[in-house]
Amino acid sequence: MTDVDTTQYPVIKAENLKKYYPVSQEGFLKKPLSLKALDGASFTLNKGKTLAVVGESGCGKSTLARLITMIESPTEGNLHIGGINAVGNKKDKKILRRKVQIVFQDPYGSLNPRKKVGTILEEPLKINTDLNASQMREKALHIMDKVGLSKEQYNRYPHMFSGGQRQRIAVARALMLNPDIVVADEPVSALDVSVQAQTLNLLMDLQDEMNLAYLFISHDLSVVRLISDDIMVMYLGRPVEQGDKNVIFEKPLHPYTMALLAATPHVDVKSRQKRIRLSGELPSPLNPPPGCTFHRRCAYMTDICKHKPPHLREVANRMISCHNAEKLINNSH
Ligand SMILES: Nc1ncnc2c1ncn2[C@@H]1O[C@H](COP(=O)(O)OP(=O)(O)OP(=O)(O)O)[C@@H](O)[C@H]1O
């Protein structure tokens, strides 16, 4: 492996990550269009911290997850995992992949129904380590204990568990290789509300104990408020507002963030009073509006927004991509 002291670096440093997909058009000679699923995401994530990625369905959250977990390569941009360049780095790929594990949304679909819990948990060890059968079993039982599963459950099949317990198995599987980073892609949105809180508490306890970093993908701002340190709000493939959670929840400046907060019960009473509503549908990323891609849905749109794309810049202790950010600081929302 590349000779770098990985403890000195952020666990993730992403610079201008982009992912474009070719989409074929109807018609014989027509060139494929380029769908900008992710169009320039930059952030740093440190050990033991949580960055939440929020936004409507289709804004590029899962695409970002696939790039960070190295399931796909970016079209452009840099990705460093623990200080090591992960883009085009075949030599370190196996080791880097061990450092980043993922928990998916659906605890029913993500576990093989034909395999017992023990087998599911030991699979990553079989592929990635030289441990013998009893060492693997010991490790599996140890992690099961950490996530609140008993050793009697080692020989059971996934269908014998509730949704919340299955998600514990998925979390346990993600932890088997001692990762630095867990990408959690809507990990509680398929669970009953009563089980959501337990699962979030478990994730937070594990983070404290194992100094894990989470890239936490969610559309639910009440969940994000509980679990995150930093937030990145995405719209149509681009971050529009990002920074410290408290700064953004206290005073969201991007009209899209305001609208998301206003639509979330129990999160931000002030902006709900203002009743900023998101109108209209998310535009197609194949044909994004000119200027600011949010302008047609924006309650604060001005002329410049219709033709000039805003750039991400620092305003009031966060990064924001809005022409009118300064004016909105004194807005009474
Ligand atoms: N392999 C692909 N080929 C073409 N388009 C894709 C591909 N994967 C994703 N997209 C498109 O990229 C955009 C972003 O998708 P992505 O799944 O990242 O969004 P998301 O925010 O995770 O949404 P959801 O919450 O619904 O999963 C969408 O318009 C989607 O249709």
Reply yes or no on whether the pLDDT at 247 is more than 90: yes
* Average pLDDT rounded to a whole number, residues 309-327: 96
Q: What does the alpha-carbon distance between residue 164 and residue 203 come to, in Å, rounded to a whole number?
A: 12
Distance (angstroms) between ligand 1 centre and the Cα of 35 equals 9
- Residue 279 scores a pLDDT above 90: no
Give ligand 1 pocket residues (Cβ under 6 A).
21, 23, 35, 37, 55, 57-63, 285
Q: What is the 3-state secondary structure (H, E, C) of 267-320?
A: CCHHHHHHCCCCCCCCCCCCCCCCCCCCHHHCCCCCHHHHHCCCCCEEECCEEE
What is the reported pLDDT for 25?
80
Upper half-sphere CA count for residue 130 (Cβ side, 13 Å): 0
Task: Give pLDDT, residue 269.
Answer: 46
Tell which residue, 246, 258, 224, has the closest CA to residue 331: 258
Cα of 40 vs centre of ligand 1, distance in Å, is 15
Asked if residue 273 has pLDDT above 50, the reply is no
ipTM of the complex: 0.96
Which token pair is 164?
A: 């919340």
- What residue owns the CA closest to ligand 1's atom 18? 60
Cβ atoms of 280 and 256 within 8 Å: the answer is no
Tell me the domains of the chain and their CATH numbers: 6-228 (3.40.50.300), 244-329 (no CATH)
What are the Cα distances from residue 275, in Å, to 47, 54, 224, 247, 268? 37, 20, 21, 20, 11
Q: Alpha-carbon distance 169 to 228, whole Å?
A: 22
Cα 238 to ligand 1 centroid, rounded to whole Å: 13
CA of 218 to the centre of ligand 1 (A): 14
Task: Out of 59, 66, 72, give the residue to mutate to test ligand 1, the one with the largest number of ligand atoms within 8 Å of its CB.
Answer: 59
Going by alpha carbons, the residue nearest to atom 24 of ligand 1 is 57
Q: How far apart are CA 208 and CA 202, in angstroms?
A: 10
Question: Which of 174, 159, 182 shows the shortest CA–CA distance to 108?
Answer: 159
Tell me: the pLDDT tens digits for 188-199?
Answer: 988 888 899 999
**Alpha-carbon distance 11 to 47, whole Å?**
6
When pLDDT is averaged across residues 200-209 and rounded to a whole number, the result is 96
Token digits of residue 234:
């995405």
Q: For 109-156, write each residue's pLDDT tens digit.
A: 888 999 999 999 999 999 999 999 999 999 999 999 999 999 999 999
| CB 204, CB 227: distance < 8 Å | yes
Both tokens assigned to 259: 């609208």
Separation between Cα atoms, residue 178 and residue 99, nearest integer Å: 7
Model pLDDT, residue 6: 64
Atom 20 of ligand 1, nearest CA residue: 58
The per-residue pLDDT of the chain, averaged, comes to 91
The residue ranges of DSSP E strands in the chain, in sequence order, are 12-23, 33-45, 50-54, 76-81, 84-85, 100-103, 181-185, 213-218, 230-235, 238-244, 313-315, 318-320
Total Cβ atoms within 10 A of residue 321? 24
Residue-wise pLDDT tens digits, 60-89: 999 999 999 999 999 999 999 999 999 988
